[in-house]
Amino acid sequence: MKKHYKLIYLILSTLMVFGMASCKKDNKGGTGAPTVTRVRYLSRFDTIKNVVHRITLDSNNIYNDTRVDPFDSTATTGRLGTQYGILGTNLLTTKSVSFNGVSVYFNPALVTDKSLIVSIPSNTSTVVIPFGPDQVNKLTIVTKYGKVDYTFPIQQPPPVIASFTPLAAGEGDIVTITGTIFNSVTSVKFDDIPATIVGTPTPTQIQVKVPAGVVSSYIYVTTPGGTTKSAASFGFKYIIYDDVLANGWGGKGSGGYDGYNSTRDYASTAHPKRGANAISIIYTNAYGALQIGYGGGTAIDVNKLGLTNLKFSAYGGDSIPDGQKVQVVINGQYGQAQQVALKAGAYTDFTIPLNTLGSPGTITEIVIQYLGGPVPATIYVDDIGFI
């Protein structure tokens, strides 16, 4: 019996030696210069949510669960933070892989003579893969027996908006947008309204002028890498009227009041500046007013909200001559009223510092009072709030 075991051990040992020799021979690889035939994606999402199906490097198809989704996985450009398979010849002795001259890590255990797997890292403080039209756009592989360059541009990632300041501003004011990957910015929009870019943007900062018609909107930055939407909206810090009165103001919702010596329509569609509605005020007295009082409970705290200016837009309607004045009053402080001039047949945007209106600590009432013009006379007011 012992002799049989010895014979079996001898056979197994011999097979192991031949197996190791065979493996060593198979893994030796070609000794010629490397070549690259193409670069491939390694995965693709199918129609089933949150499921990824892997592909083999020598297959041209990937299938969803019903096996009906063939596609060409060849990649002609690379994205940061993405993994790729590189197909070619004589790759087994690869020493380095680089994109646009920057070396990246690859796992030698995943290298064969015909393929290797590599990840293009996302740019960090320690690794920066160059991108853009001024780059060499080369994937370079160096092996024990030579080097190959393969044309493989790196796509610019989408821009990243970190913040913008100020959070609200008037038409023509400068807003500074900070973030990353603003390279070659092509446009900035407030919702769908284009903004004028001021000066020369940098990869981390853009300055723009607030366009006309912006009340509350998201900021969109577009570069060759795509378009990104700001996480926070730009506009009023506190809004009183935006197509409708805010709850607690002018008798809407939880309280408030309005008046006096005028007829007021808070849903007029005659001359909206933005959106569907504006406030129509027909002055029936030479000193009538749009008076909007707050009754919503907790006071509007100026310091807590960081309010510095009252902003609104007004349109001179029937019987309003150019230059007709109205006065703006906060919290009944008529001694601190500020006068503004209207334009007949057009909207004018007004931004009035609160420190000229009595420096209120809280906001409880807004009045826009007619100043001795002909009556009846009509104006339209839209987009009332604080910035």
pTM: 0.61
Q: Please indicate whether residue 250 or residue 171 has the higher confidence score (pLDDT).
A: 250
Residue 212 — very low, low, confident or very high, per pLDDT cuts 50/70/90? confident
Is the predicted pLDDT of residue 94 greater than 90, yes or no? yes
Range picked from 26-30, 33-37, 51-55 for highest mean pLDDT: 33-37
Contacts with 282 (C-beta within 8 Å, 6 or more apart), sequence order: 262, 263, 264, 376, 377, 378
Domain ranges in the chain are 30-151, 160-234, 238-386
pLDDT tens, position by position, 237-250? 899 998 899 999 99
- Of 41-45, 179-183, 238-242, the least confident: 41-45
Residue 223 — very low, low, confident or very high, per pLDDT cuts 50/70/90? very high
In this predicted structure, what is the pLDDT of residue 15? 44
**SS3 assignment, position 110:** helix
Nearest Cα neighbor of 91 from 151, 31, 22, 137 is: 31
**Kind of pairing, strands 309-316 and 377-386?**
antiparallel
- Distance (Å, whole) CA 387 – CA 385: 7
Q: Mean per-residue pLDDT for 3-17?
A: 49
In this predicted structure, what is the pLDDT of residue 4? 52
pLDDT tens, position by position, 245-280? 999 999 887 789 998 999 999 999 999 987 789 999
Q: Mean per-residue pLDDT for 51-80?
A: 58
Fold classification of 30-151 (topology level): Immunoglobulin-like (2.60.40)
239-251: buried (b, 16+ CB within 10 Å) or exposed (e) per residue?
bbbbeebbebbbb
Looking at the structure, give the CATH architecture of the domain made up of residues 160-234.
Answer: Sandwich (2.60)
- Of 95-109, 160-174, 288-302, the least confident: 160-174
- Distance (Å, whole) CA 196 – CA 187: 8
* 342 and 324 Cβ atoms separated by less than 8 Å: yes
* 48 and 67 Cβ atoms separated by less than 8 Å: no
Q: Mean per-residue pLDDT for 118-127?
A: 86
In the CATH scheme, what is the homologous superfamily, with its name and number, of domain 238-386? Galactose-binding lectin (2.60.120.430)
Domains 30-151 and 238-386 share a fold: no
> What percent of the chain stands above pLDDT 90?
67
Show the tokens assigned to 118. Answer: 């590599």
**SS3 assignment, position 10:** helix
